[in-house]
Amino acid sequence: MGFLSLHTAAAKTLLILGDSLSAGYRMSAQQAWPALLNEKWQPNTTVINGSISGDTAAQGRARLPQLLKQHQPDWVLVELGGNDGLRGFPPQDVERDLRAIISAVKAANAKPLLMQIHLPANYGRRYTEAFSAIYPQIATSLSVPLVPFFMEQVYLKPEWMQQDGIHPSPEAQSFIADVMAKNLAPLVKHEASTNETANR
C-alpha cells in the first residue's frame, strides 16, 4: 500500500515566471538553470520554465493566467522586473505589476516566491536603490519569501558572463542551478529538501 501511495502521489510543480536570466538567453532551453534544477529535483518536484527573454513585469503578468491554468503549479517563482529597470520604467509601475502577479498566484491557490532583482550600478544610485527597494517592500507587505538574486555571485566571474555583460553564460548555469536548489529547498517542500537539510 505504501508503494502504491508513493507512486500515485502527483509530483509537486514549481513554475518559474521570468525573463532572459531564466529563459536561457542565447542557449538551448535544456542548458538553462531551470532545466538543470528540474533534473536535480525529479521525480519529487517538476520545474516548469515559463520564462521569455525580454519580458517585462507587465508582459509576465499578461501571460500568467494561461500558465496557471495550464500547469496548476504549487509554487511560482517570480523573476521579473530587470527589463523594466533597464528601460528606466518607474519603480511604482513595476511594483504594481509584481503585486498583481502575486495576487493572481495566490488566487490560483499557489504559493508565490519573489526573486530580488538588482540593476547595474551605472543606472544611477537614486534609481537603482529605489528599484531594488520595491522587492523587500512587496515581500514584507504581502508575506512572500524573498529569494536572493543569483546574478550577484555570477557577476564576480567574467567567464560566467556573456559578452553583453548582462546575461549569464552557459558555463554559469550549473552553478546557478546549485544556488537556486539551496535557496529554494526550504521554500519548495519536496522530499529531497528534507535530506538536504539533514545533511548540512
Return the domain boundaries, the chain.
Answer: 34-188
Per-residue confidence band for 2, with pLDDT thresholds at 50, 70 and 90: very low
Indicate the burial class of 135 (C-beta count within 10 angstroms; 0-12, 13-18, 19 or more).
buried
Q: Cα 184 from chain centroid?
A: 10
Q: What are the angstrom distances between the C-alpha of 6 and each of 10, 14, 47, 191? A: 9, 19, 19, 11
Q: What is the pLDDT of residues 96-155, one digit of tens each?
A: 999 999 999 999 999 999 999 999 888 899 999 999 999 999 999 999 999 999 999 999
Q: Per the residue annotation, which of 19, 167, 169, 190 is the catalytic one?
A: 167
Give residue 189's pLDDT. 76
Cβ atoms 81, 100 nearer than 8 A:
no
Give residue 3's pLDDT. 42
Angle formed by the axes of helices 33-41 and 173-184, nearest 10°: 50
Q: In the predicted model, is pLDDT for residue 6 greater than 80?
A: no
Is the model's pTM score more than 0.75? Answer: yes
Q: Per the residue annotation, which of 5, 7, 143, 164 is the catalytic one?
A: 164
Q: Per the residue annotation, which of 19, 20, 74, 84 is the catalytic one?
A: 20
**Sheet hosting strand 75-79, strand order edge to edge:** 45-49, 12-18, 75-79, 111-115, 146-147
Is 164 a catalytic site residue? Answer: yes
Is 20 a catalytic site residue? Answer: yes
Is 167 a catalytic site residue? Answer: yes
- The DSSP H or E segment spanning 132 is helix 125-142
Indicate the burial class of 95 (C-beta count within 10 angstroms; 0-12, 13-18, 19 or more).
buried
Indicate the burial class of 4 (C-beta count within 10 angstroms; 0-12, 13-18, 19 or more).
exposed
Superfamily of structural domain 34-188: SGNH hydrolase (3.40.50.1110)
Q: If you average pLDDT over every residue of the chain, what do you get?
A: 90
Q: In the predicted model, is pLDDT for residue 8 greater than 80?
A: no
Question: Could you tell me what percent of the chain has a pLDDT over 70?
Answer: 90
Give residue 120's pLDDT. 84
Q: In the predicted model, is pLDDT for residue 74 greater than 50?
A: yes
Q: In the predicted model, is pLDDT for residue 157 greater than 80?
A: yes
